[in-house]
Structure formats: C-alpha cells, structure tokens
Chains A and B, each alone.
Chain A
Amino acid sequence: MADEGGEAVVLRTVITMIGAVVGEDYLEDLEVGMGTAFDQDLELESIEFVALSEKLMEHYGDRVDFITWLGEMELEEIMNLRVGQLVHHITACLEA
C-alpha cells in the first residue's frame, strides 16, 4: 500500500477531490501544485471550497481535523489559502 500520508500522495488526493468538485474539464488547462491558491488561481467559489472540505472529511475521517484548523483562521486567511497549506495540514494530522 502506498504511503497515504506522504506529501505527494496527499497532493494527488487533494487534486482529485478538487476535480470532483469543479469538474475534471476545468482542471485540464490548469496546473495545480502546492503554490496554487484556491481563490486567486482556481477561482473556487466559496461553496465549492466547503464541498471540497466535505469530500476530504469523508475521505480522511477523524484522522484529519479540519474544523479546529479552519475555526482558528480569519476569513482572509481562508480566502487566501493555497493547496500546499491544506496538504501540509493533512500530512501533519496523518503523521500525528
């Protein structure tokens, strides 16, 4: 079994989930990496980011705490989130 908590694997999972939310077609012309911003680069609608977090919660279950993490952020921080920050949070939770 591949190392589910490895950064590269988590990044692939996050990208797959983004595709599930916005549609694979939309991602075809975009290169999504750790530095990609959800708002500025992907132009995710805020309700789509909620849907993404829901899918990630369904995937990782209690092993990753999104609620506390997001609850400690200011609105602007969530708006400016980059894929890498999300990946780092997930990997940190999986390693803990």
Chain B
Amino acid sequence: MPFADANGVRLFYQRLGRGRPTIVCVHGLVMDNLSSWWYTVANAAAARAEVVCYDLRGHGLSQRPREGYSVTDSVDDLVGLLDSLGIEGPVHVVGNSYGGVVGLALAVAHPERVEGLILVEAHAAVETLHAKARRQLAEGLDLAGLVLDDGDVNRWLESLGGRKLNRMATSAKDLIYHTTLVGDLRSSPPFTEESLGQVECPVQLVFGEHSDIFDRAEILARLLPNADLHVIDGMDHSVLMGATAQVRSLVLELASSAG
C-alpha cells in the first residue's frame, strides 16, 4: 500500500497513469477522502496524464496526528508529498471545497510548484469576506460535531446506517473533537487581495448556481488575474458528486493538454 512520509506525517496516496502534465487531486474536509476524486475523475484522467490523489492528514487512510490542521500545514503536507514522490516540476492542482483552498494556498506560497488550478467550490476565505467566511467554515464543522454527538441522532445512524455510516460518523467525530482541526482552521489567516492578485497561473473556478458559498466564486473571479468562472446550473455545493461529468470534462481537457 502506497504511503509517503510528508512533512513528518504518513500520507496515503494513489499515483495513477504517467506522463505530463501531473494532476494532483485534493479532497474536502472531515467526511471526505481521496476516494471522492478516485471514483469520479482520477482514473479517467489517468488514461491521459499522471494523476496523484492523496488523503489529507487525519482523513482516509492517512495518519491522524492530534495537531497540524491549519491551511499552512496542509500546504506543507502537499509540498512534502510532492518532494517525497520526486515531483519537482509544476503541477496542476484540482481541489474540491477545502481541497481548493489548499491548491490556492499552494499557488500563493509556492507559485513555482503550480502550473494551473481547478477549484471546485473552493471554501476560500478572502480578507474582505473573512469574518463571515471564517465563521461559516468553522461553525459548519462545529455544527456537524454537535449533530453527530446528539444521542438520538447517533442511535438513528446506528440503526439505519450500518457499518459504513457508523465508521464515517465515528471518524468525523474523532477528527472534530480530538484534533486541533477546528481551532487550526479558525485561526488560519484569510487570503489577501494582494496575494490573490499575484497568482498568475490559469485558474478554473467551478461553483454551483445555488452554492451557499457563491460569494467566494464572485470574489475569486474578480481578484484572480487569470480565472474563468464556470457556474453549474441548478447545483449547490455538491458539484463534484452532482455534476461529475462537467468537472471530469474540465480535468480531461487539462489532462490532454500535455504541458
């Protein structure tokens, strides 16, 4: 089983296909792991390019240390993974939700490592939105934790969900209550307008028409110099699972571009 030692953490990854460009897929928070990309896009794209998917620390099969869940930590983990895999050249990062935040933060901190970005429903906090955005992201997680901790809901999950849902719920509770994830995210600084203005690589922004974070789409499209906004009709935040064909099409186009 492929694990990489990245930034001092053991990360599970899948390296599929070969050649150029290299596409790195980053998943969302808590109830997510690399399988959301693996099931939808990664294998198809691997027929044309090299694709790397990995589990963020604390998620999926990766190690779950008690701390180190800030956006900066996530970027350091990703850089550590690329170094560990010997991928030195710039990559395309395809990120969903929080994964989009990681991709964007990588492009800001290490522009030489990023050739392009596809940000699906990126939960990015920007300084002008910061108070509201930070509250939404962190409180969303707190709320999930509170709901999962409620006895009635737990019993309902156990009776209805069986093994799979129980394991997901248990894992999510552990991540929320027994790691520093929520606090680390709450204290992660937002992107500044200046830092976004310096992201020169092409960025595809993909947001659902009815997304609860559509304000991020508008501000990212305005501040990123080389961004295209794709709005998926009738879709909410669950674009990757609800509009898989459109996301896959964008990634396949990228995979065929042979950098």
The residues of A with any CB-CB pair to B shorter than 8 Å are 26, 39, 43-47, 49-51, 54-55, 58, 66-68, 70-72, 74-75, 78-79
Which of the residues A50, A58, A67 comes within 8 Å of B47, measured between beta carbons?
Answer: A67
Interface of B is mostly: helix
Min distance, Cβ A74 to any Cβ of chain B, angstroms: 8
In the complex, are the beta carbons of A72 and B168 less than 8 A apart?
no
Point out which of B14, B36, B55 has the most chain A C-beta atoms below 10 A from its C-beta: B14
In addition to A54-B14, A67-B17, A71-B45, 8 A-B residue pairs with Cβ atoms within 8 Å of each other are A39-B164, A43-B162, A47-B34, A47-B60, A50-B14, A66-B43, A71-B47, A75-B40
User: Smallest CB–CB gap between A53 and chain B, Å?
Assistant: 9
B-side interface residues, number (CB < 8 Å)? 27
- B residues whose Cβ falls under 8 Å from a Cβ of A: 1-2, 14, 16-17, 33-36, 38-40, 43-47, 55, 60-61, 162-164, 167-168, 241, 244
Q: Please give the distance in Å from A79's CB to the nearest CB on chain B.
A: 8
Q: How far is the CA of A46 from the CA of B167 in the complex (A)?
A: 12
In the assembly, what is the distance between CA of A47 and CA of B38, in Å?
A: 9
Which residues of A are found within 8 Å of B40, using beta-carbon distances? 75
Q: Can you list 29 A-B contacts with CB-CB less than 8 angstroms, sorted by A residue number?
A: A43-B164, A44-B164, A45-B35, A45-B167, A46-B36, A46-B38, A46-B39, A47-B33, A47-B55, A47-B60, A47-B61, A49-B35, A50-B34, A50-B35, A51-B61, A54-B14, A55-B1, A58-B1, A67-B16, A67-B46, A67-B47, A68-B47, A71-B46, A71-B47, A72-B44, A75-B39, A75-B241, A75-B244, A79-B39
